Amino acid sequence: MTKENNITGYIFTFLPISIIAILFLISWTEREYVLKDDWYAAVAILDSARTTEDQVQKKDYIDRGGKWLLELKEKYPFHPKLRMFVGYYYIQTREWDKAIEELHVAIDEGKGGIVNQIEYQARDFLTNALMNKTQIMMQEKRYDEAIKVMEESYPYAPEHVSFLNHYANMYANMNRIDSALVYFEKVIAVDPRNTRIREHVGNLYFNIANNLARNNNFEGAYPNYLKAIQYVQNNPHYFNNLANVELSLNKIEDAINHFNKAVELEPNNATFKGNLKIAQSRQNIPS
């Protein structure tokens, strides 16, 4: 076979492979464009609605961006980021149920992703939708329905601080303090340096303990004062009240230590000093 024939043979041998490679690159580039660029462009249109005061223009931006996202969803129904953006669109239109449904799918489909992680952002959007939906329900006194909505979404955001905090506040507003504390303590488990929540939880335990102590239920008050101090270590009233209960329970040494702590935190408080003297006077009296 001549050199010319060899070259011709090579050309025809590799031509189909080259065509396949080119087609692959074209299709891949097109797919990347659709998956990476189109929904960002659609979201940019949605976001434009937030920059205008013109209500007609605002509605046009939302309608156009949403229409584009829904068309993309038809083509790529299982792409988590796209479903997250569709959820974001429904937040803009205040269609809370649809938003929640889309964001559940986004979190499910995006679970465990390494590249382009969306779970946290999706949970932010989900919490936004849930807060809006349940706030309306709470105002309408549909408490059980509101709690059910949160229960159904809990598996999608079990460690999301804003979600847990909202859940806890719902229970607190219903005066279901025990249930509220469960979710406030979950917030602290995720975000132990959250001073505001720690102080709030400490105050809830302190109030529970005070109510029990007023009814002479010192055994019940005691662990609640301890829980209050677990979360707030710099409030002298917590230590004083705990010490008073310890005195009633004949825990004299503990009472002296905690009265001392109260005085240390507020040295000029005459009540704390007087309580400390009473406890010290009982130190050597047989029980």
Q: pTM score, two decimals?
A: 0.79
Q: Is residue 103 part of a domain?
A: no
pLDDT at 10: 34
Least confident of 5-9, 124-128, 157-161: 5-9
pLDDT at 266: 97
Q: Is residue 283 part of a domain?
A: yes
Of 226, 167, 176, 165, which Cα lies nearest the Cα of 200?
A: 165
- How far is 146 from 137, CA to CA, in rounded Å? 6
Q: Is residue 199 part of a domain?
A: yes
* Model confidence at 3: pLDDT above 80: no
CB 263 within 8 Å of CB 273: yes
Q: Which domain holds residue 286?
A: 193-287
Q: Which is higher by pLDDT, 27 or 244? A: 244
* Model confidence at 27: pLDDT above 60: no
Q: Is residue 2 part of a domain?
A: no
* pLDDT cut 70: percent of the chain above it: 84
Confidence of residue 65 (pLDDT cuts 50, 70, 90): very high
Which amino acid type is present at position 14?
F
Q: Is residue 215 part of a domain?
A: yes
pLDDT at 38: 87
Q: Which residue has the tokens 């040494």?
A: 253
- How far is 139 from 146, CA to CA, in rounded Å? 10
* Model confidence at 25: pLDDT above 90: no
For the chain, the first-to-last Cα distance in angstroms comes to 116
What CATH number does the domain containing 211 carry? 1.25.40.10
Once rounded to an integer, what is the mean pLDDT over residues 149-154? Answer: 97
Q: Is residue 126 part of a domain?
A: no
Once rounded to an integer, what is the mean pLDDT over residues 27-43? Answer: 59
Question: 86-133 pLDDT, tens per residue?
Answer: 999 999 999 999 999 999 999 999 886 655 578 889 999 999 999 999
- How far is 66 from 102, CA to CA, in rounded Å? 13
Question: What is the token pair recorded at 141?
Answer: 């006194």
* Model confidence at 42: pLDDT above 70: yes
Q: Is residue 234 part of a domain?
A: yes
Domain count, the chain: 1
Q: Is residue 227 part of a domain?
A: yes
* pLDDT cut 90: percent of the chain above it: 80
pLDDT at 286: 55
pLDDT at 81: 92
